[in-house]
Amino acid sequence: MPFVVEFQLQEGTRSQFRRLIDANADASVRSEPECLQFDVLEPEDDSNRVLLYEIYSHEAAFDVHR
Residue by residue, what is the 3-state secondary structure of 50-63?
Answer: EEEEEEECCHHHHH
CATH 3.30.565.10 fits 2-65, yes or no: no
Q: Indicate if the pLDDT at residue 4 is higher than 90.
A: yes
pLDDT of 65 reads 86
Instruction: Encode pLDDT of 14-65 as tens digits.
Output: 999 999 999 999 999 999 999 999 999 999 999 899 999 999 998 888 888 8
Map out the domains of the chain as residue ranges: 2-65
Residues ≥6 apart with Cβ < 8 Å to 32: 61, 64, 65
